[in-house]
Amino acid sequence: MEFILQPWSWWFSGIMIAAIMFFLLYFGQSFGFSSNLRTICAAAGLGKSAKFFDFNWKAQIWNLVFLVGAILGGFIAREFLSTDAPVLISEATIQDLSKLGIAAPESLQPAELFGLDAVLSIKGFLLLAFGGLMVGFGSRYAGGCTSGHAISGLSDLQVPSLIAVMGFFIGGLLMTYLFLPLIF
Amino acid sequence: MKFIKFLLLGIVFGIVMTKSEAVSWYRIQEMFRFQAFHMYGIIGTAVTLGVAGVALIKRFRMRDYHGNPIMFNPKEKSVVRYLIGGSIFGLGWALSGACPGPMIVNIGYGYWAMAIVFFFAIVGTYLYGLIKNKLPH
């Protein structure tokens, strides 16, 4: 049981993610989580205002079920499989983040971003909103997210996916080194 | 009942993402600062196995459980949309510390604030759908 409660190693998690991708292929689908965002828009009837959401979304219900599973998985991991111990990030990262005013980890996520006080402040709310907005806009613009491009696309040696992943890092590095110090 | 296998795979995904800490904002920061191997190990292992497995599927023309050949649709050729779209995604990823899958897993874990992030990700996708034809692709 100790083994399960500890954080899992990168190699085991990598193997499991590849296994999930192959199971989805075997079940006649493909691994790409952000498609759900488009499906949700379509299911909400937004196809009336934008043609992009006018498609047979019911063929994507399997992915929404996968999404529901992911919620349950997060819940199960918290309730039964973890100790909610601080994330053991490197000392260098802790030092860098402290310069931004973000304290060393006490659990899985920083209270500075996801705690109630942060969420209820205007700045904190806007940060979460803009973060989500850019992820949603960017993933559809790029035609996929981490699962669709970095895992599925790279596994198929797709050049577009490699370009997208380079984009992920251009944006990620800009945010990390240029914008985060301005924001915090 | 035909959906139960996808529910189970989703559950496994949620557990693995949580237990590997890939859903943590801290881990994403650590990744973008190149200060640990952890995230690269996860993605690198998955992609290495993925490349080998996809090559085998193609080589032996494997079929899915319906009996249909497993097909891989080449993504449309372009640079602009992947580079710009990817960069916008990356900005959001590094800020919120979560891509769409981990957002959902975080909600299950109890980080309700991620529901705000996920809601605005839906809004962002809708905005893209609205102005899609005006953007360079």
Residue among A75, A92, A144 whose CB faces B109 most closely:
A75
End-to-end CA distance of chain B: 40
pLDDT at A3: 77
Rounded Cα–Cα distance for residues B85 and B70 (Å): 28
In this prediction, residue A2 has a pLDDT band, given cuts at 50, 70 and 90, of confident
pLDDT above 80: residue B1: no
Contact B43 A150 (CB under 8 A): yes
* Whether A96 contacts chain B with CB within 8 A: yes
pLDDT of residue B82: 98
Q: Is A31 left (phi over 0), alpha (psi -120 to 50) or beta?
A: beta
Give the per-residue pLDDT at B30. Answer: 98
Average pLDDT over every residue of A93-111: 97
Residue A5 pLDDT grade (very low, low, confident, very high; cuts 50, 70, 90) = confident
Q: Return d(Cα A30, Cα B21) in angstroms, integer.
A: 24
- Compare A64 and A4 and report the one with higher pLDDT: A64
Summarize the confidence of residues A46-70 as an average pLDDT.
Answer: 97
Mean pLDDT, all residues of chain B: 97
| Whole-complex ipTM | 0.96
Confidence of residue A84 (pLDDT cuts 50, 70, 90): confident
In this prediction, residues B63-77 reach a mean pLDDT of 94
Euclidean distance between CA atoms B27 and B21, whole angstroms: 7
This prediction's pTM: 0.96
Whole-number pLDDT of residue B60: 96
Tell which B residues from 28 to 87 touch A, by Cβ distance under 8 Å. Answer: 28-33, 35-39, 41-51, 53-54, 57, 64-66, 68, 70, 72, 74-79, 81-87
Q: For position B27, what pLDDT does the model report?
A: 98
Residue ranges of alpha helices (H) inside A27-153 are 35-43, 61-80, 91-99, 111-114, 116-120, 122-141
What pLDDT shows up at residue A1? Answer: 66
Contact B121 A37 (CB under 8 A): yes
What single DSSP character describes residue A104?
Answer: P
pLDDT at residue A180, as a whole number: 97
pLDDT, tens digit, for every residue of B24-58? 999 999 999 999 999 999 999 999 999 999 999 99
For A38, A41, A55, A95, B27, the CA distances from A45, given in Å and listed in that order, are 11, 7, 10, 47, 36
Distance CA A164, CA B134 (A): 20
- What rounded mean pLDDT belongs to chain A? 96
Pick from A80, A17, A31, A66: which is nearest to B11 by CA?
A: A66
Of the candidates B128, B91, B46, B18, which has an alpha carbon nearest to the alpha carbon of residue A21? B46
B14-22: average pLDDT: 97
